[in-house]
Amino acid sequence: MFEKISQHESVLFCNDPSTGLKAIIAIHDTTLGPALGGCRMRPYPSTDEAIEDALRLSKGMTYKCAGADVDFGGGKAVIIGDPLTDKSPELFRAFGQFVDSLNGRFYTGTDMGTTPEDFVHSQKETPCIVGIPEEFGGSGDSSVPTAQGVIYSLRATMQAMEGTDDLSGKSYSIQGLGKVGFKVAEKLLEDGAHLYVTDINGKALQQIIEKAEFLPGTLEVVEGEEIYGVNADVFIPCALGGIINDYTIDRLKVKAVVGSANNQLLEDRHGVYLGQKGILYAPDYIVNAGGLIQVADELYGPNKARVLNKTKAIYDSLLKIFQTSKEQNISTVEAANRFCEMKIEQRKTRNSFFSHSKRPKWQVKH
Ligand code: NAD
């Protein structure tokens, strides 16, 4: 077991029999600041699987925070339990007490299986909570900056491919018209683009059809897997992970893949395969960082203009990543990882100027 966690700074097991709470908090790296990462709730089949999820996801957060240039490191929490039957205000208060015991080393909020409202209970026990509803002082719906980040990423990708970041007059295929996908589709229709869209939810499709009637762009609905084979310029995955794999890459006719879905590549090698096929891949954790930027920004008090400004920087980060990938003949995934590792290394060098006791206090939210 110690082998498994040797890349992480610390792992905390949280056990509270009175509320039934069983949780794991993994802190991967705090070079850039306190660890930040959502809290996932799932009925994990075994403790080992819960630990592995926490370790993997917290490491991913270290890279995502570095890429988004927020002053946080990587962490993640998982609660072992069924979100439909095992939740209670007391359980989330107990979880909040464990988070508080870390004295500002870990900030958390909603993820799969948990809602912003759950953490209103946790917040009674600790100030280290982000992403709570606006009426409780939070910054509200994170899909707004996430969708803006996707649009900036599309512009950067167009700039890298065609020397202009104009999105109009192009065609896009969008998988998933939920909170993020719908907003991206709406913006592209406003710009006069042609869209191919798919969703398993008929209501979401109906809503975008109605919207398109009043906008300059045009829209075609396609069924399920047909989305992979349409003749679009860019594929925008906004639903599931793992959808870039051997099967789909062989069907894709697009020039680029740029979307919000988490963990789009089934395996890392699929990032390389996309490049070999001449398809430019914008790494998902760089593209979808708008939501993270918003929750990280909450520490200074909610401010939409500041969040938008920071989200715009995704454009320049992606251009740098594309350039490194081209110059060094490496995949864009590898280039993105190096981009983030370099930021962490640079900070380590700077940190060495301070003695440990003189470092700034992490707990800034009071
Ligand atoms: P959502 O649940 O609101 O929307 C997902 C949409 O995808 C739904 O409309 C759903 O019906 C559709 N869908 C599910 N399976 C599908 C399939 N097989 N084919 C076509 N459509 C399918 O989620 P969201 O908040 O819009 O997030 C979309 C993706 O972006 C997710 O992968 C999420 O993890 C990621 N993401 C979201 C945010 C955010 O701020 N919301 C931030 C970072 C990453």
Alpha helices in 2-142 (DSSP H): 47-68, 89-101, 118-122
Is the confidence at residue 236, as pLDDT, over 60?
Answer: yes
Residues above pLDDT 70, as percent of the chain? 95
Report which residue type is found at 95. Answer: F
Is the confidence at residue 238, as pLDDT, over 70?
Answer: yes
Given ligand 1 and candidates 199, 245, 264, 298, which is best to mutate, with the most ligand atoms within 8 Å of its CB?
A: 199
Decide: residue 3, CB within 10 A, 0-12 exposed, 13-18 middle, 19+ buried.
exposed
Q: How far is the CA of 102 from the centre of ligand 1 (A)?
A: 32
12-50 burial, b if ≥16 CB within 10 A, otherwise e?
A: bebebeeebbbbbbbbbbbbbbbbbbbbbbbebeeeeeb
Contact 228, 251 (CB under 8 A): yes
What integer pLDDT is reported at residue 74 of this predicted model? 97
Ligand 1 proximity of 139 Cβ (cutoff 6 Å):
no
Q: How far is the CA of 235 from the centre of ligand 1 (A)?
A: 15
Ligand 1 proximity of 200 Cβ (cutoff 6 Å):
yes
Question: What is the layout of strands, in order, in the sheet containing 234-237?
Answer: 218-221, 194-198, 171-175, 234-237, 256-257, 280-281
What integer pLDDT is reported at residue 259 of this predicted model? 98
- The minimum-distance atom of ligand 1 relative to the CA of 284 is 44
Q: How far is the CA of 57 from the centre of ligand 1 (A)?
A: 18
- The minimum-distance atom of ligand 1 relative to the CA of 146 is 40
Average pLDDT for residues 156-164, to the nearest whole number?
97
- The minimum-distance atom of ligand 1 relative to the CA of 241 is 32
CB proximity list for 276: less than 8 A, separation 6 or greater = none
Radius of gyration of the chain (CA): 21
pTM across the whole model: 0.91
Q: Which two tokens stand for residue 164?
A: 């202009």
3-state SS class at 46: coil
What integer pLDDT is reported at residue 17 of this predicted model? 97
Q: How far is the CA of 117 from the centre of ligand 1 (A)?
A: 20
Of residues 289 and 360, which shows the higher confidence score?
Answer: 289
Ligand 1 proximity of 198 Cβ (cutoff 6 Å):
yes
Nearest to 310 by CA among 76, 33, 61, 71: 71
Ligand 1 proximity of 145 Cβ (cutoff 6 Å):
no
What integer pLDDT is reported at residue 356 of this predicted model? 42
Q: What is the pLDDT of residues 250-259, one digit of tens each?
A: 999 999 999 9
Average pLDDT for residues 34-52, to the nearest whole number?
96
Q: How far is the CA of 156 from the centre of ligand 1 (A)?
A: 22
Nearest residue by C-alpha to atom 30 in ligand 1: 261
Nearest residue by C-alpha to atom 12 in ligand 1: 176
Contact 307, 297 (CB under 8 A): yes
Pairwise CA distance, residues 231 & 37, whole Å = 37
Ligand 1 proximity of 259 Cβ (cutoff 6 Å):
no
Q: Strand runs (DSSP E) across 90-237, as ranges?
A: 106-107, 171-175, 194-198, 218-221, 234-237
Pairwise CA distance, residues 67 & 338, whole Å = 10
- The minimum-distance atom of ligand 1 relative to the CA of 237 is 29
140-177 burial, b if ≥16 CB within 10 A, otherwise e?
A: bbbbbbbbbbbbbbbbbbbbbeeeebebeebbbbbbbb
Residue indicated by tokens 């509200």? 140
Q: How distant, in Å, are the alpha carbons of 87, 249, 251, 275, 316 from that of 93?
A: 11, 45, 48, 47, 40
Nearest residue by C-alpha to atom 9 in ligand 1: 178
Pairwise CA distance, residues 252 & 152, whole Å = 22
Ligand 1 proximity of 337 Cβ (cutoff 6 Å):
no
What integer pLDDT is reported at residue 249 of this predicted model? 98
Q: What is the pLDDT of residues 165-221, one digit of tens each?
A: 999 999 999 999 999 999 999 999 999 999 999 999 999 999 999 999 999 999 999
Ligand 1 proximity of 242 Cβ (cutoff 6 Å):
no
Neighbours of 357 (CB within 10 A): 5
Q: How far is the CA of 358 from the centre of ligand 1 (A)?
A: 43
What integer pLDDT is reported at residue 1 of this predicted model? 65
Of residues 113 and 366, which shows the higher confidence score?
Answer: 113
The CA-based dihedral angle spanning residues 140, 146, 149, 151, taken in that order and rounded to the nearest 10 degrees: -110
Ligand 1 proximity of 201 Cβ (cutoff 6 Å):
yes
Nearest to 76 by CA among 60, 100, 93, 92: 60
- The minimum-distance atom of ligand 1 relative to the CA of 289 is 43
The CA-based dihedral angle spanning residues 290, 293, 295, 301, taken in that order and rounded to the nearest 10 degrees: -120
